[in-house]
Structure 1
Amino acid sequence: MSLTTPLAGKLAGLQSSAIRDLLKLTARADVISLAGGLPDAALMPRERIAVAAESALAGAAVLQYTESPGLPALRAVIAARETARIGRTVPVDEVFITHGSQQALSLLAEVLLDPGALVIVEDPAYVGALQVFRAAGARIVAVPLDSDGMRVDVLEDLLIAGERPAVVHTVSNFHNPGGVTLAPERRRRLAELAEAHGFWVIEDDPYGELWFDQPAPDPVASYSPQVIRLSSVSKILAPALRVGWMAAPDRVCRAVELLKQGADLCGSALTHQIAADLLTDTDWLVAHIDSVRQAYRARANALVDAVRTTFTDRVRCTDAAGGMFVWADFTDGTDTSALLPKALEAGVAYVPGAAFAVSDSYRNSMRLCFTTSDEAVLAAAIDRLASAAR
């Protein structure tokens, strides 16, 4: 007997993440994966997390429900960090802790978007944002990236033409998947446009602390309260803590609170306390993040050097100034989706550019992640990719 009881109609247009699906194919021990957007587990501070967990468990309160906006101690820590980052005071009431920053994005879509509302995203786009905005029934329009990040001039042309977005989403630092950073003058102009035209900017910033040679520019939020900032500890501490946050105006946080109460009531007081402990241990945290930066810098340089040396002008790739990704384009028309099965046979994986397209584009592109392999393994991965591409 088959079940014909219907599901919600909004599911019809949704697709599983191509990246998550690809991870299932790259679990083989003989495949070097440049596909997953994962931080290196070997660099995660397990011993320090264990100490923080033991300290937290000394009291029974961390095993109880906590406030829906998050453990007050953690919110105070994040408020101080965001104040220092943005350069203006961020009150504790304007900080909301979520189950990773992806939940923050999902809850914001419910708060800020009605079905059919216009959302502007960068192209290529962060897959998680596309999933959220499609689930919300938004109309999605893409604005291209170049080496200085979002083409804010193209956004301005859309506004002049009469488009009225509810939300503009940007991964401002070390873009996933594009690997580029939004230039300071474009940040200022984006904030000016948000205020002039009354739309929200969601500044998604999980990678901002993973700079290699110089810190990321001042956040877009430095220029306007119309900007909602998202981040998490997943890339600097550990994804398993599932601690993300938004810094947003109080009325947005209170609306998100209503929805979160219906979704999961609250987060984990235990992991919130662990995160608060680690984030307030300033000397240790600075040294830890610096060690992660050094490792990723060496790996990023090794990957970029291998691509440019091996493929010469057949492949163009971004410089890696921070974050976790390099974006690469075949210049000879190679279709990266068609190449992928051959690459897997050769023992290497990547994410085809089409996975990040708002429409049918980036057939000749790919995203390469450099975080989970050392320099020698990354060089071997590019050798395998070259073998598959011959």
Structure 2
Amino acid sequence: MKRSFIREILESIDENTISFAGGLPSEKLFPREDLKTATMKIFDNPKAFQYGLSNGITELREKIAARYTKEGFPTNKNNILITTGSQQAMYILAKFYESKDITIEEPSYLGAMNIFRLNHLKMHGIKLEDDGINIEGFKKSFKNTKLAYIIPDFQNPSATTYSDKKREEIAKIVEEEDGILIEDSPYSELYFDKKNISISSKIPKKSFHLGSFSKTLVPSLRIGWIRADEDLIKSLLIIKESIDLHSCGISQYILNEYLEDEVKYENHLQDIRDDYEKKANFFCEQLDKYLPEFKYQKPKGGMFLYGNLEGVDSFALVQKCIEKKVVYVPGNQFYIDKIPNGEIRFNYTHSSFEQIEKGIKLIKSCL
């Protein structure tokens, strides 16, 4: 096992470095006053400081379930398991399927790949195309693994969004092969145009749908969840209890209080979408202006922009960029074999407009 390149690089840079590396939300959009009000209210409730239910406080699970149901995906509180971020959700699932084979996208989320390695899951990477995973490759691999992990909405790292056709095809394959889909969905609310229907809603008994408030509210609360069939949730609960008994109760009560005003949360989500779309458009403009050799697909939402500098070792390039006080994540980190390539993942949500322009100009100078 090796540490995450992203976590290592974030520790090695200083406040003067322009970072396009981590998947950091914009701090100016954190609803600090509303969360402060919610926090003060929970101090009147002694239950907020007591041990809680392993699957999460009932009221919060009910609120999350209601959001699913409102979107046409019937869900109740027993379908929800609260986790310490969606990273823990993935760890619980990896432990549940320890030492099995799993079909994943390539490139794929680095954090998930590290968890799968730690739990001895053998990964089978299938090429990711502009509209989602290659279906022929997925079908062939899934026939053997019966288990898959994908990020259909504004994928990390590629920012790819699955087409409606591919969502239908994947659901059909999972159903026919009697397998299980792990659908990671931390970015689904960060759309610029429309929200896509989850694949899990088409196969509710054969899927785990992972969500998180880290990208839509604040990361430090560390509250995520798994939505699955009730019997599957009961199986995961045994693992969850052995790890931490339950996720932080104070965080759950603060979040639950904040979500009492659903309109306020919806307005907050729209503010994020508007801000991130402006940032994404500006990032693309600066790339076209200063780094036209970088070929990319314009994101439709999420937090990342991904592309390729053909003929360039992006891992070697980032070492030069660190010296110039600008960083990104080289694409080889998102592949199973980590062979050097020209691919790069940029995060555009955390930096200011001035930092975006300056950072891209610095990368051009290093190139």
The answer to whether residue 53 in structure 2 is matched with residue 67 in structure 1 is yes
Is the CA contact (8 Å cut-off) linking 1:109 and 1:136 kept in structure 2? yes
Does the aligned pair in 1 maintain the 2:132–2:161 contact within 8 Å? yes
Q: Tell me the CA shift for residue 20 of structure 1.
A: 0.5
- Residue matched to 2:195: 216
Residue pair 2:152, 2:161 contacting (<8 A) in 1 also: yes
The answer to whether the aligner puts 1:326 opposite 2:311 as a matched pair is no
Distance 1:114 1:126 in 2: 18
| Map of 1:22 onto structure 2 | 9
Q: Which residue of 1 aligns with 2:148?
A: 168
Partner of 1:8: none
In the other structure, the counterpart of 1:337 is 315
Partner of 2:90: 105
Structure 2 residue runs without a partner (length 5+): none
Aligned to 2:110: 127
Q: Retained in 2: the 8 A contact 1:346–1:387? A: no
User: Which whole-Å CA distance do the structure 2 matches of 1:36 and 1:229 have between them?
Assistant: 23
1:288 to 252, 264, 268: 268
Residues 81-133 of structure 1: CA deviation (Å, up to 9, x unaligned): 12223x1311211111000011111101122x142x11011100101110111
How much has 1:188 moved relative to structure 2? 1.0
Q: Which whole-Å deviations, capped at 9, do the CAs of 1:296-326 have from their partners, x for residues lacking one?
A: 11111111111122122x2101202111000
Counterpart Cα distance in 1 of 2:38 and 2:272: 20
Summarize deviations over 1:22-65 as a string: whole Å, max 9, x none. 11122x23211101111122211111111001111111110001
- CA–CA separation in structure 2 for the residues paired with 1:82 and 1:145: 27
CA displacement at 1:362 relative to structure 2: 5.4
2:32 corresponds to 1:46 = yes
Deviations 1:238-284 (A, max 9, x none): 11111100101111111111111111111122211211222231111
Question: How far apart, CA to CA, are the structure 2 residues paired with 1:70 and 1:258?
Answer: 13
Q: Report the counterpart of residue 325 of structure 2 in structure 1.
A: 347
**Which whole-Å CA distance do the structure 1 matches of 2:147 and 2:329 have between them?**
27
Check if 1:367 corresponds to 2:345.
Answer: yes
RMSD: 1.3
Distance 1:230 1:15 in 2: 25
> What is the CA–CA distance in structure 1 between the aligned matches of 2:8 and 2:137, rounded to whole Å?
33
Equivalent residue of 2:154, what SS? coil
Q: Which amino acid aligns with 1:128?
A: G
> Corresponding residue for 2:229?
249
Opposite residue 198 of structure 2, the aligned amino acid is P
CA distance in 2, matches of 1:114, 1:261: 17
Aligned residues of 1:178 and 1:327 also touching (Cα < 8 A): yes
Count matched residues: 366
After TM superposition, give the deviation of residue 158 of structure 1 in Å: 3.2
Q: Secondary structure at the match of 2:21?
A: coil
CA distance in 1, matches of 2:34, 2:236: 32
Are 2:188 and 2:302, in contact at CA under 8 Å, matched by a contact in 1? yes
The residue number in structure 2 matching 1:3 is none
What do residues 173-198 of structure 1 show as CA deviations (whole Å, max 9, x unaligned)?
Answer: 01110011111111111111111112
| Separation of aligned partners in 2, 1:140 and 1:107 | 17
Task: Give the % identical residues.
Answer: 29
Partner in structure 2 of residue 158 of structure 1: 141
Question: SS at the partner of 2:188?
Answer: coil
SS at match of 2:73: coil
Aligned partner letter, 2:7: R
Alignment of structure 1 residues 263-302 onto 2, 5 Å:
263-302=243-282
Query: For residue 365 of structure 2, what is the amino acid of its counterpart?
Result: S
Q: Which amino acid aligns with 2:333?
A: A
Q: Contact 2:180 / 2:207 at 8 angstroms: preserved in 1?
A: yes
Write the mapping of 1:189-268 to structure 2, written as runs, cut at 5 A: 189-212=169-192, 214-225=193-204, 226-268=206-248
* Counterpart amino acid of residue 59 in structure 2: A
Whole-Å separation in 2 of the counterparts to 1:92 and 1:207: 22
**Unmatched 5+ stretches in structure 1:** 1-13
The answer on 1:309 being equivalent to 2:289 is: yes
In the superposition, the TM-score normalised over structure 1's length comes to 0.91
The separation in 1 between residues aligned to 2:66 and 2:119, in whole angstroms, is 32
